[in-house]
Chain A
Amino acid sequence: MPSKAHAAGLALAALLAAGAAQAGETLTVYTYDSFVSEWGPGPGIEAAFEARCGDCDLEFVALPGGVDILQRLRLEGQGTAADVVLGLDMNLIAEARDLDLLAPHGVDLAPLALPIAWDDETFLPYDWGHFAFVYDTEQLETPPGSFAELLAAPEDVQVILQDPRTSVTGQGLMLWIKKVYGEQAPEIWARLDERVLTVTNGWSQAYFSLFMNGEAPMVLSYATSPAYHMAVEGTERYQAAEFEEGHYLQVETAAMVANTEQPALARDFLAFVLTPEFQRHIPLGNVMNPAIDLGDALPAVFDRLIAPESLTFSPEEVHEHRREWIREWLNAVAR
Chain B
Amino acid sequence: MSPLSPWTTLSRWPLGWGLAALVVVVGLGGGSLGALLWQARELHPALLWEEPWLAAVLRFTLWQASLSTLLAIGLAVPVALALARRPRFPGRRLLLRAMELSLVLPSLIALFGLVAVHGRRGWLAPLRDALGGLPEDTLYGLSGIVLAHVFYNLPLAARLMLQALEEAPAAQWRLAGQLGLSRGALWRALEWPRLAPLLPRLAALVFTLCFTSFAIVMTLGGGPRSSTLEVALYQAMKFDHDLALAALLALTQLAICLTLWLLALSRGGPPSLAVGAAPGQGQGRWWRRDALGLSRLTDAFWLTGLAALLLPPLAAVLVAGLGGLPDLPRGTSLAPAALRSLVMALGAGLGALALALALLSGSHWLRARRHPLGAAAMEGGGQLILVTPALVLGTGLFLLLRPRLGSGWEGYGLVVLVNAFMALPFAMQVVRGAIPGLSAPEQRLADQFGVRGRARLRWLVWPRLRRPLALALAYAMTLSLGDFSVIALFGSPSAPTLPMLLFQQLGGYRWQGAAATAMLLLALVVAVFALLDRLTRRPPRHPWPHSASHEIRDARLP
Contact = CB atoms under 8 A, between A and B. Distances in A.
Interface of A: 2, 6, 9-10, 12-13, 16, 30, 32-34, 36-40, 42, 59-64, 67-68, 70-72, 74-79, 81, 95, 163, 165-166, 193, 196-202, 204-210, 212-216, 225, 228-229, 232, 285, 287, 322-323, 326, 329-331, 333-335
B112 A214 contact: no
Nearest to B228: A201
Given A9-B408, A9-B409, A34-B504, A64 B219 contact: no
Nearest to B113: A209
6 contacts: A64-B503, A200-B219, A201-B214, A208-B112, A214-B119, A334-B224
B456 interface: no
Contact of B491 (A30, A208, A225, A228): A30
Interface-central residue, A204, A322, A323, by most chain B CB under 10 Å: A204
Interface string B33-61: 00000000000000000001100100000
Interface residues of B, number: 66
Chain B CB within 10 Å, residue with most, of A38, A71, A216: A38
B409 A13 contact: yes
Given A33-B496, A62-B491, A209 B508 contact: no
A167 B328 CA distance: 27
Q: Is the interface of A mostly helix, strand, loop or mixed?
A: helix
A285 to B, nearest CB: 8
Nearest to A59: B493
B384 to A, nearest CB: 22
Contacts of A163: 218, 224, 231
Contacts of A60: 493-494
B31 to A, nearest CB: 15
Contact of B488 (A10, A64, A78, A212): A64
B89 interface: no
A237 to B, nearest CB: 13
B508 A40 contact: yes
Interface string B366-396: 0000000000000000000000000000010
Interface of B: 52-53, 56, 108, 111-112, 115-116, 119-122, 137, 140, 214-215, 218-225, 227, 231-232, 234-235, 237-241, 329, 332-333, 395, 398-399, 401-404, 407-410, 488, 491-494, 496, 500-501, 503-511, 514
Please report whether the interface of chain B is mostly helix, strand, loop or mixed according to DSSP: helix
Given A64-B488, A199-B222, A213-B122, A208 B409 contact: no
Contacts of A193: 223
Contacts of A205: 108, 111, 215, 218-219
Contacts of A165: 231-232, 234-235, 239
Contact of A200 (B52, B122, B218, B237): B218
A99 to B, nearest CB: 10
Given A75-B395, A198-B222, A335-B225, 5 more contacts: A33-B500, A76-B402, A198-B223, A199-B218, A208-B112
B108 A199 contact: no
